[in-house]
Structure 1
């Protein structure tokens, strides 16, 4: 049972003897609406509405020192995580965001780019940011140490947050569904209703987690300017 339970997160599991699990990471491309029609469909209008709302919010968070077009990096990150999380809820589709390979690659790449740019171009601002205003002189070395540690673990916390939330929901759904064979009719109805409610909750978690990751990445980037 344990082998079957955790095999849904195993990237080496084959389908028809073909190791194509990681290809599910690219399935989100098929959800991008086409934009060359004269009359846009509802999917394209919804896509534009979400992108416009996110653009305004990220633009506010980045402040006046932002680069033009920098918000589209975080909008793309939001949609990438959203569709990969959402596709993982379908049966027999590999959930790539349950692995630190994907989540840590995204967070570490963004964090490193922010840090390299900040320390090379805004060195004084980066040093000032380590010591909050009004800190006593005797506590300054400790504040620098604490801020340095909290800054270093940021990509790890982003990756673990996304991975843990995705794994927890999938494991709970799998564990509950594995008990269906031994239940009576009344309990089976209750199990089905609870599974539907959990699936609804997981659908909300997919949106919330993609939004949280993109918002935190935006806040981290705004600190280097």
Structure 2
């Protein structure tokens, strides 16, 4: 099991310089869009996606509560997570989002900023959220405890959900790939086909998990306004 999980260890280095986390910013080298005088097809498609996300996040936050540019934060988070998830599908590229260091840093910083903003500016509104509407008076102390605990564990659930989904798919691909040398030749095409299907599923998971992380962050931000 130690050897199995060692594929996620950030140990790759050149002359004792750790280079794993460079994969999180390598997109600036691969996609230099600011060099284009005329927008490329990729840039046009990306702008359409960002406009769609902007409209969706604007609805989630609420038209009365939205500040100009607030959706750009969540669009940027989606872009960063999706890019790291996607780059992790390539061989020998470090997957930053499979480590709690990155996912918990993003989730905790967002949650802390939401909580500080909410409790400093809308304290009465935050207290109201601790007791759901229609709760009987005898159950109110228990509901306050339950709502407080569920609020505190939000950054942990965000981080663990993203990390666990990234690790699970990569582990499955690693396990199946490791059995190839011991298989019969007749079963090798089936193994390759299965790996291709799993890789397609992982690409879908990369999009879905980045979308889920961003949407939940947007919903959490809408509660503090």
For the aligned pair, the TM-score class normalised by the smaller chain equals over 0.9
Structure 2: segments with no counterpart, 5+ residues? none
Q: Does 1:54 align with 2:53?
A: yes
Matches within 5 A, 1:52-131: 52-63=51-62, 64-131=64-131
Question: Residues 3-54 of structure 1, C-alpha deviation per residue, up to 9 Å, x if partnerless?
Answer: 4432221013335653211111111323545246442111110110110000
Question: Residues 62-107 of structure 1, C-alpha deviation per residue, up to 9 Å, x if partnerless?
Answer: 1121211000000000000000000001000011111000000000
- Which shows bigger deviation, 145-154 or 16-25? 16-25
C-alpha RMSD over aligned residues:
1.4
Residues matched between the structures, number: 224
Structure 1: segments with no counterpart, 5+ residues? none
Q: What residue is the counterpart of 2:147 in the other structure?
A: 147
Q: Distance in 2 between matches of 1:206 and 1:159?
A: 14
Q: What residue is the counterpart of 1:208 in the other structure?
A: 208
3-state SS of paired residue (2:74): helix
Q: What residue is the counterpart of 1:192 in the other structure?
A: 192
Per the TM alignment, residue 177 of structure 1 is displaced from its structure 2 partner at its CA by 0.3
Q: Does 1:6 align with 2:5?
A: yes
Output the TM-score relative to the length of structure 1: 0.95
Q: Distance in 2 between matches of 1:46 and 1:31?
A: 17
Q: Distance in 2 between matches of 1:38 and 1:14?
A: 37
Asked if the contact 1:28–1:84 (Cα under 8 Å) also holds between the matched residues in 2, the reply is no
Output the TM-score relative to the length of structure 2: 0.95
* Residues 84 and 20 of structure 1, relative CA distance in 2, 3 Å threshold: same
